């Protein structure tokens, strides 16, 4: 079995999505731990790619829409951290395109003789361990084609409070965080750094994590509690406001169905205490705010308000 070795520059871990949130955090965590990292990027000159190269990653160009470009990127790699690009259309997730992207990476890894792939998808919900169909297809294909597969299923990122644009909600605007979540019921969240930590743990001990699926969360404040914690940490008054049914309907049937299922009790269900046994440093929301989140949110709000 070939596994990555921090002391061996010729056995890198290929990180896809390296200029994005999870991929970037994972690449930085592996580099900090002495792992050789090969970062798959579409644009070698993108600022995030240049930053990774400066941190020690070797950049390789690849595109999930061009499966032939993936195989050269995998030559000589010992393991893979995989995140195919999100595929969304006007009606919501484009299931088959997302699945095709994931299968292309898995096929390329298998063809290159790579035995370990850590794949990050998305948290399941409590009703029958439901995950979006595209990601479920990728997970099944991974288990069928890779000898040492590990699936990470993270919940909502703590950094989503820094979001702008996108779906039209999620971040903080004019002192208000607006979302579909019920105001006074728990909402699980995870720090990107902790997703990266679980990936690093899996690469450090492939046999221990082979075949495992980990639902990842680090805390479960209510949206109102989270807004209060952000207010205290940043010194900026923030309140939470739930989107109305009419507002949600304007975003399309997929979002409306998500809100309906959430209010019916279909929730993320990571076992936070069990995860903390595996990773004792698992961050709470207040811990993340104290470490880096509050400063990032303050800077973001200052920029967005032109102050």
Among candidate residues 179, 183, 190, the one with its CA nearest the CA of residue 154: 190
The answer to whether residues 86 and 98 touch, using CB atoms and an 8 Å cutoff, is yes
Task: Please say if the pLDDT value at position 164 is more than 70.
Answer: no
Residues 6+ apart with CB under 8 A from 290: 233
Under the banding of pLDDT at 50, 70 and 90, the label for residue 85 is confident
Residues 6+ apart with CB under 8 A from 147: 1, 115, 116, 210
Task: Please say if the pLDDT value at position 168 is more than 80.
Answer: no
Q: What is the value of pTM for the model shown? A: 0.93
**pLDDT computed for residue 2 by the predictor:** 47
For the chain, the structural domain boundaries read 13-156+192-216+267-283
Options 3.20.20.120, 3.50.50.60, 3.90.1170.50, 3.40.50.720; CATH of 13-156+192-216+267-283: 3.40.50.720
Residue 43: CB atoms within 10 Å: 13
């Amino acid at each position: 079995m070939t596994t990555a070795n921090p002391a061996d520059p010729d056995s890198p871990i290929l990180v896809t999505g390296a200029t994005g949130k999870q991929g970037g955090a994972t690449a930085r965590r592996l580099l900090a731990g002495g792992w050789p990292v090969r970062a798959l990027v579409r644009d070698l000159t993108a600022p995030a790619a240049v930053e990774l190269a400066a941190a020690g990653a070797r950049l390789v160009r690849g595109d999930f829409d061009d499966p032939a470009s993936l195989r050269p990127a995998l030559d000589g790699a010992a393991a893979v951290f995989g995140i195919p690009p999100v595929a969304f259309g006007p009606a919501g997730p484009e299931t088959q395109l997302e699945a095709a992207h994931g299968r292309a990476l898995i096929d390329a890894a298998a063809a290159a003789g790579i035995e370990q792939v850590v794949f990050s998808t998305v948290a399941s919900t409590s009703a029958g361990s439901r995950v979006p169909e595209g990601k479920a297809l990728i997970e099944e294909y991974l288990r069928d084609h890779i000898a040492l597969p590990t699936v990470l299923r993270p919940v909502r990122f703590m950094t989503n409070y820094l979001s702008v644009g996108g779906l039209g909600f999620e971040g903080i605007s004019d002192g208000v965080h607006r979302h579909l979540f019920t105001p006074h019921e728990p909402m699980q969240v995870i720090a990107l750094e902790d997703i990266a930590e679980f990936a690093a743990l899996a690469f450090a001990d492939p046999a221990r994590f082979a075949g495992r699926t980990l639902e990842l969360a680090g805390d479960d404040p209510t949206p109102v509690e989270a807004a209060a914690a952000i207010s205290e940490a940043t010194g900026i008054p923030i309140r939470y406001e739930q989107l109305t049914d009419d507002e949600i309907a304007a975003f399309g049937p997929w979002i409306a169905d998500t809100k309906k299922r959430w209010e019916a009790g279909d929730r993320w269900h990571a076992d936070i205490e069990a995860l903390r046994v595996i990773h004792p440093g698992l961050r709470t929301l207040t811990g993340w705010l104290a470490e880096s989140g509050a400063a990032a949110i303050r800077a973001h709000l200052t920029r967005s308000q032109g102050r």
